[in-house]
Amino acid sequence: MEAISIGLLGLGTVGSGVVKIIENHQDKLMHQVGCPVKVKKILVNNKNKKRDVEIDEAILTTDPEDIISDPEIDVVIEVMGGIESTKTQILKALYNKKHVVTANKDLMAIHGSELLKVASENGCDLFFEASVAGGIPVLRGLVDGLASDQIVKIMGIVNGTTNYILTKMSNFGSPYEAVLKEAQELGYAEADPTSDVEGLDAARKMAILSTLGFSMNIDLEDVKVKGISQITEEDIRYGKQLGYTMKLIGIADRVDQKVEVSVQPTLISDSHPLASVNDVYNAVFIYGEAVGETMFYGPGAGSLPTATAVVSDLVGIMKNMRLGVNGQSAVTPQYEKKLKDPSEIYSKYFLRLQVKDEVGVFAEITSIFSKHGVSFEKILQLPVKEKGLAEIVLVTHAASLQDYEDVLQNLEEINTVKTVKSSYRVEGGTK
């Protein structure tokens, strides 16, 4: 079998890693697929830029057509990012009967179903393992390893930047702004960190995971999103006192074919494995009806971990080429999308209130919770510096989101509650 020719769109952090792995692992690739693999052309913005990987300048181009329209190129690997212009180029590659590997979670979360349909119609593979959780083979685990099971819940830490920030805030009591600045200096956070810290990056990954795990088309707008920028050192400290660790958690939950998908700061029980996933590491917990609990853990970003996932997808495509089954792996969603309404979403909740420090206040608050059928699991009452005020920190038993939101609204309306300081979902531990 002749050498397989690759066209690479992008030569940044991940692109450089892909080139290194293809060069350094030729023996393994030959053994896996029975032929050499060569990078024929690489799209870059600037041919003269200094890079951390040695490249023959003759294979560099600034024109994507040199890759997309080259009949000798078998597989296009997209690692440049972007959405609309990148979508146009990938569509053109698929129409030109080229297989595609992408690490682009933004693109796949928004246009994935359309691109997979075009790939299938043109007998092409479109693989995107690297779009979620870097080097962790979680998509392959979901689609292949757990193919025979019914997935009921996916829960995970899928953004390394926010996990790094929350780890530092938890371990050192540092304020959010200071840790964000440190993360930017270390290159973990972008100059504009909005996508990470407001949960958008994690939401895109949860849309992909839930679409594959539940076999239904989950769109980005179906994911309820809340970021970490409002978390305070007090929230983390009080959570610790009650036995919880603060994490930005993506949750996709299915009950009777109805689903909820969210990304939000969550207090995880210290006994739960996700509580000990620190720094830039990612982890995804998958609950199957038959298998029970499985967890995928590893580096969620970085040049070589992400490039490993890209090249693994490339190996999958090349094996399919040998078998003559390209374009047959995409499975259209089996179920119609049905989203839970707030009365069907159950969880425990952490709540911090500042209240007037006077007789009868706690009884008034308790009656509001009782009216909506929400009971307490844990309670802390703490003095505050401001005279005449007290702080109440509590964790509820499992309650519907609807009942909990009604409680919050009622609390806002009574004059004995000065302010609702914070509120978070609680996961892990006893129900």
Residue 265 near residue 247, CB atoms below 8 Å:
yes
Judge whether 226 counts as a catalytic residue. Answer: no
Q: Which amino acid is at 71?
A: P
Which long-range CB contacts under 8 A does 416-420 form with residues at least 24 apart? Answer: 416/355, 416/356, 416/358, 416/361, 416/364, 416/365, 417/353, 417/354, 417/355, 417/356, 417/365, 418/354, 418/355, 418/356, 418/389, 419/353, 419/354, 420/351, 420/352, 420/353
Name the one residue in this structure whose structure tokens are 């917990």: 285
Give the closest residue to 254 by CA, choosing from 284, 212, 291: 212
Judged by DSSP in three states, 50 sits in coil
- Could you say which of 41, 205, 247, 348 is catalytic? 205
d(CA 4, CA 234): 56
* Residues 89, 78 contacting (CB under 8 angstroms): yes
Which class for 217: exposed (0-12), middle (13-18), buried (19 or more C-beta within 10 A)?
middle
Strand partners, 19: none
Q: Are 262 and 242 spatial neighbours (Cβ–Cβ below 8 Å)?
A: no
Instruction: Report the alpha-carbon distance of residue 127 to residue 188 in Å, rounded.
Output: 26
Q: Are 32 and 314 in contact, with CB atoms under 8 Å apart?
A: no
Catalytic positions = 205
